[in-house]
Amino acid sequence: MLIDTYGRVATDLRVSLTDRCNLRCTYCMPEEGLQWLAKPDLLTDDEIVRLIGIAVTELGVTEVRFTGGEPLLRPGLVSIVERCAALAPRPKMSLTTNGVGLERTAGALRDAGLDRVNVSLDTLRPEVFQALTRRKRHGDVLRGLEAARAAGLTPVKVNAVLMPGLNEDEAPDLLAWALEHDYELRFIEQMPLDPQHGWKRDGMITAGDILASLRTRFTLAPEDDGERGSAPAERWLVDGGPARVGVIASVTRPFCRACDRTRLTADGQVRTCLFAREESDLRGALRSGAPDEEIARLWRVAMWGKKAGSGLDDPSFLQPDRPMSAIGG
Ligand code: SAM
Ligand code: SF4
């Protein structure tokens, strides 16, 4: 098991497949000038599959989420999914994507064994999409979402980040649209993971703001009686249900005490938290010929050092050096 000193057990592995992306969301990447990871430093497909195999067979991981950067940009994605689906025990597998190109690959991903997708879409307005992502790809994302549902990658979840002055007024419209299309919408509070280090607590749209805005048009009742387990999203039944909406309030209502995550970056570093400033290198061990048991041991040691919380509330909080796109969200 991957256990830490606070008794938390990690069963959910987030794997970043690349730090590159075809969008430039303002809260995640700079417009230009971000240094990409060097190609030789990236894990190969074989190395990724081997590490996931160790996590699943030796360390108790039951869920694997592929992310990035934009994971659809990884040429070997379908085959990585297929090979992970053949592991015993077979992990549950999902993908977090911006949806650009999903129209083409949703069927193949489903056939390879992917269970679900989360597609990020912050706005229904193409011009706001362009301001948020610095690219004109709104239509691609909408088509990707439809293709995911048609391929059976369900429930299709939609992740939305609200940014002041851009899409902060869109929460009710996004929810009405998600209900109409049978997507499960989750709002994510903006976190201090932008490369410009421009995040300000005072300026961010909080879970409280989002819920107040939604309640102008919908009735919301807590789904879980305040018990959300390790799920980061607090979920509300909309207008009596069964439809739901989630809010991931990493900043204002952190869920660190129930965290069950471990993360692997595209260059083979284990991170125990999005906000961690320390990483543990597995790539070096892999490439120096370490056996599976040794790699599993290094991963356990990394987990043992997991901090109690993100530290966001601490005045001495420092952003991690990597931006979100290079950590893997
Ligand atoms: N490119 C894919 C995508 O956009 O879904 C996967 C990687 S992206 C880093 C994963 C998720 O992190 C997205 O839903 C994105 O909106 C979210 N995200 C990125 N930067 C963020 C930030 N600073 N605060 C909150 N969420 C963020
Ligand atoms: Fe790319 Fe996803 Fe970051 Fe947007 S949030 S820049 S789509 S990695």
- What distance in angstroms lies between residue 329's CA and the mean position of ligand 1's atoms? 5
**Region 38-53 average pLDDT:** 97
Residue 74 inside a domain? The answer is: yes
Residue 69 inside a domain? The answer is: yes
- Measured CA to CA, the distance from residue 183 to residue 253 in angstroms comes to 24
Q: Is the pLDDT of residue 151 over 60?
A: yes
pTM to 2 decimal places:
0.95
Long-range contact pairs involving 126-132 (C-beta distance under 8 Å, separation at least 24): 128/166, 128/167, 128/170, 131/166, 132/25, 132/26, 132/163, 132/166, 132/167
Residue 97 inside a domain? The answer is: yes
Q: Is the pLDDT of residue 105 over 80?
A: yes
Determine the atom of ligand 2 nearest the C-alpha atom of 29. 6
Phi and psi dihedrals of 94, rounded to 5? -140, 170
**Region 139-158 average pLDDT:** 98
Query: pLDDT tens-digit profile of 171-224?
Result: 999 999 999 999 999 999 999 888 778 788 888 999 999 999 999 999 999 987
Determine the atom of ligand 2 nearest the C-alpha atom of 100. 7
Question: Which ligand lies nearest to the CA atom of residue 329 in the structure?
Answer: 1
Nearest residue (CA) to ligand 1, atom 5: 97
- Measured CA to CA, the distance from residue 189 to residue 207 in angstroms comes to 7
Question: Which ligand lies nearest to the CA atom of residue 120 in the structure?
Answer: 1
- Residue 293 CB coordination number (10 Å): 9
Phi and psi dihedrals of 88, rounded to 5? -125, 120
Give the pLDDT band (50/70/90) at residue 225: low
Residue 2 inside a domain? The answer is: no
Residue scoring higher pLDDT (17 or 315): 17
Question: Number of folded domains in the chain?
Answer: 1
Strands (E), the chain: 2-3, 9-10, 12-16, 63-67, 92-97, 116-120, 157-161, 184-188, 220-222, 233-238, 244-248, 261-264, 269-271, 280-281
Give the pLDDT band (50/70/90) at residue 269: very high
Give the pLDDT band (50/70/90) at residue 230: low
Nearest residue (CA) to ligand 1, atom 10: 329
Determine the atom of ligand 2 nearest the C-alpha atom of 69. 8
Question: Which ligand lies nearest to the CA atom of residue 19 in the structure?
Answer: 2
* Ligand 1, CB within 6 Å, residue ranges: 21, 27-28, 67-68, 70, 96-98, 120, 159, 161, 188, 190-191, 193-194, 324-325, 329
Write out the residue range of the structural domain in which residue 260 sits.
Answer: 12-327
Nearest to 258 by CA among 2, 1, 7: 7
Residue 113 inside a domain? The answer is: yes
- What distance in angstroms lies between residue 192's CA and the mean position of ligand 1's atoms? 12
- What distance in angstroms lies between residue 107's CA and the mean position of ligand 2's atoms? 22
Give the pLDDT band (50/70/90) at residue 228: low
152: CATH: 3.20.20.70
Residue 4 inside a domain? The answer is: no
Residue 165 inside a domain? The answer is: yes
Distance of CA 53 to the CA centre of its chain: 20
Q: What pLDDT shows up at residue 311?
A: 77
Nearest residue (CA) to ligand 1, atom 13: 120
Nearest to 91 by CA among 59, 44, 47: 59
- Measured CA to CA, the distance from residue 59 to residue 168 in angstroms comes to 41
Residue 5 inside a domain? The answer is: no
Q: What pLDDT shows up at residue 41?
A: 97
* Ligand 2, CB within 6 Å, residue ranges: 21, 23-25, 28-29, 68-70, 98, 120, 324-325
